[in-house]
């Protein structure tokens, strides 16, 4: 049944920290230089306090505590909608990006002879579900690789042109390993001309680089909540386009995603209707007041700062690192064409293990994987701090 769109509620008036004092919003880190936010976002003081308060409250389940988990879920849904199209009915709450992507794979039609496009080296959450779906249907899964001197956008567009039966492109906006930024304006326009579906994993960009839902017309968008949304693990989001809010197939049947009526009854002889909009995709078990409280507090702060302003500020941090690398003669190590908040350094193979160890000995945390040092700061880091990375690495020139 059709439902009118639910307009986004005004942002809540909470005690958020202004952008000029953003570092004060985070739990203090001492001398540690934490640059691994692509793995786990830093903890906000407000989120920490909200989580502790909720933890204390649930110790007394016989006492009525407001807001209740259902109220928290709707608050979180409304907050998340501000990152998409402003319609809370488009947002589902799921436990992980992998769950949301499997939901997308389960809902989109796919047949033998069709092709699904992914990137080579793409994060496995947006790969494994498509491997299974293609195996089940007889469709073909194609991994896109880059030619020398080619960027990922050009590689995707070239691969699309070679696939006459392209049905789905499942892509990130920002690659998880080196921060490479895909031009989704161009990619989505080419997909729309072909009538192919677009599924986006924005786990490494949502909250920093805003999605253009109106222009890209994605079918589904997924993101974790614990990286750049500064929330809790085990609580992610799925945005569904209006078409799939009424016709998508959930992978889990749970009472939260159904309407049991005012008497909350689920008859054997007739299935209860789905809840409104993308709530049909809501997963069970997402009623932990602690996780919900942390997620809400994180999003309130992200929205108060504004993704565009966060991106600009983090761009200053990565630009400062580029400047320091240039001065140290290490500019060739830095990844080109990266997002403002996420980049990678590629030292020579012979020194990368030692370089990683030296950073850790200097109390600098980043991810070392696949021959890269991934650098991902948030606003707890000052631009001047970024020179510490180049200072340590300069000994390996």
Instruction: Please report whether residue 3 resides in a domain.
Output: no
Same-domain check for residues 287 and 327: no
Cα 171 to chain centroid distance, Å, stands at 12
Q: What is the pLDDT of residue 395?
A: 95
d(CA 341, CA 315): 6
Same-domain check for residues 123 and 187: yes
Instruction: Please report whether residue 380 resides in a domain.
Output: yes
Instruction: Please report whether residue 334 resides in a domain.
Output: yes
Cα 380 to chain centroid distance, Å, stands at 19
Same-domain check for residues 242 and 271: yes
Q: Are 173 and 211 in contact (CB under 8 A)?
A: yes
How do residues 314-351 score in pLDDT, each as one tens digit? 999 999 999 999 999 999 999 999 999 999 999 999 99
Residue 257 is classified by DSSP as G
Same-domain check for residues 358 and 229: no
Q: What is the pLDDT of residue 7?
A: 46
CATH number at residue 327: 3.90.1150.10
Instruction: Please report whether residue 258 resides in a domain.
Output: yes
Q: In what order do the strands lie in the sheet with 220-223?
A: 91-94, 236-240, 220-223, 197-201, 166-172, 115-119, 140-144
Instruction: Please report whether residue 335 resides in a domain.
Output: yes
Same-domain check for residues 353 and 255: no
Domain count, the chain: 2
Same-domain check for residues 339 and 284: no
Of 265, 289, 305, at which residue does a domain stop? 305
Q: Are 368 and 356 in contact (CB under 8 A)?
A: yes
Q: What is the pLDDT of residue 271?
A: 87
SS3 343: strand
The confidence band for 28, taking pLDDT boundaries of 50, 70 and 90, is: confident
Instruction: Please report whether residue 151 resides in a domain.
Output: yes
Question: What is the average pLDDT across 222-232?
Answer: 97
Q: Are 182 and 176 in contact (CB under 8 A)?
A: no
Q: Which of 51-55, 61-65, 92-96, 179-183 has the lowest mean pLDDT?
A: 61-65
Of 265, 280, 305, at which residue does a domain stop? 305
Same-domain check for residues 209 and 221: yes
Same-domain check for residues 177 and 137: yes
CATH number at residue 94: 3.40.640.10
Q: What is the pLDDT of residue 281?
A: 97
Backbone angles phi, psi at 197, to 5 degrees: -85, 150
Same-domain check for residues 132 and 203: yes
Same-domain check for residues 76 and 173: yes
CA distances from 224 to 2, 48, 150 (A): 28, 18, 29
Instruction: Please report whether residue 33 resides in a domain.
Output: no
Among 157, 171, 167, 174, which Cα is nearest to 120's? 171
Rounded to 10 degrees, the C-alpha dihedral 329/331/334/340 comes to 120
Pair of tokens at residue 123? 């994060």
Pair of tokens at residue 235? 């609580």
69-81 vs 289-305: helix crossing angle, rounded to 10: 30
Of 241, 271, 305, at which residue does a domain stop? 305
Backbone angles phi, psi at 313, to 5 degrees: -65, -40
d(CA 386, CA 330): 14
The confidence band for 228, taking pLDDT boundaries of 50, 70 and 90, is: very high
How do residues 5-15 score in pLDDT, each as one tens digit? 444 444 444 56
How do residues 349-376 score in pLDDT, each as one tens digit? 999 999 999 999 999 999 999 999 999 9
Instruction: Please report whether residue 17 resides in a domain.
Output: no
Rounded to 10 degrees, the C-alpha dihedral 176/181/183/184 comes to 30
Q: Which domain holds residue 338?
A: 307-396
Q: What is the pLDDT of residue 13?
A: 42
> Is residue 168 predicted with pLDDT exceeding 80?
yes
- Partners of 367 in the beta sheet? 374
d(CA 343, CA 38): 10
What is the DSSP secondary-structure string of 345-361?
A: E---TTTHHHHHHHHHH
CA-CA-CA-CA torsion sign (192, 281, 243, 231): negative
Same-domain check for residues 297 and 321: no
d(CA 126, CA 144): 13
d(CA 86, CA 80): 8
Same-domain check for residues 238 and 285: yes
Percent of the chain scoring above 90 in pLDDT: 89
Question: What is the average pLDDT across 54-71?
Answer: 90
How do residues 229-246 score in pLDDT, each as one tens digit? 999 999 999 999 999 999
């Amino acid at each position: 049944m059709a439902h009118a769109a639910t307009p986004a509620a005004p942002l809540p008036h909470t005690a958020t920290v202004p952008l000029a004092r953003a570092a004060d919003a985070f739990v203090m880190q001492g001398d540690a230089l934490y640059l691994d936010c692509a793995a786990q976002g830093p903890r906000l003081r407000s989120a920490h306090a909200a989580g502790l308060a909720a933890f204390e409250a649930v110790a007394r389940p016989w006492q009525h505590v407001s807001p209740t988990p259902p109220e928290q879920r709707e608050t979180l849904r409304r907050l998340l909608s501000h990152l998409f199209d402003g319609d809370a009915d488009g947002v589902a709450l799921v436990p992980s990006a992998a769950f949301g992507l499997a939901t997308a794979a389960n809902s989109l039609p796919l047949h033998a002879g069709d092709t699904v496009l992914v990137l080579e080296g793409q994060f496995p959450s947006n790969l494994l579900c498509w491997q299974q779906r293609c195996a089940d249907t007889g469709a073909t899964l194609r991994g896109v690789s880059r030619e020398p001197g080619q960027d990922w956008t050009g590689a995707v567009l070239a691969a699309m042109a070679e696939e006459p039966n392209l049905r789905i492109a499942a892509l990130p906006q920002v690659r998880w390993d080196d921060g490479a930024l895909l031009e989704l304006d161009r990619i989505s326009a080419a997909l729309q001309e072909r009538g192919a579906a677009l599924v986006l994993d924005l786990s490494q960009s949502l909250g920093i680089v805003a999605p253009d839902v109106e222009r890209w017309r994605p079918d589904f968008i997924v993101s974790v909540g614990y990286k750049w949304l500064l929330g809790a693990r085990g609580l992610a989001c799925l945005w569904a386009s209006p078409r799939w809010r009424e016709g998508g197939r959930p992978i889990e049947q749970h009472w939260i995603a159904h309407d049991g009526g005012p008497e909350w009854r689920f008859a054997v002889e007739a299935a209860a209707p789905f809840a409104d909009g993308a709530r049909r995709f809501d997963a069970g078990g997402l009623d932990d007041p602690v996780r919900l409280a942390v997620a809400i507090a994180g999003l309130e702060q992200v929205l108060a700062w504004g993704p565009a302003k966060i991106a600009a500020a983090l761009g200053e941090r990565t630009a400062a690192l580029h400047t320091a690398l240039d001065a140290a003669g290490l500019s060739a190590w830095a990844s080109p064409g990266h997002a403002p908040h996420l980049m990678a350094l590629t030292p020579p193979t012979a020194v990368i293990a030692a370089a990683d160890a030296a950073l850790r000995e200097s109390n600098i945390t980043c991810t070392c994987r696949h021959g890269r040092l991934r650098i991902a700061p948030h606003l707890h880091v000052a631009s001047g701090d970024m020179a510490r990375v180049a200072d340590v690495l300069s000994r390996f020139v």
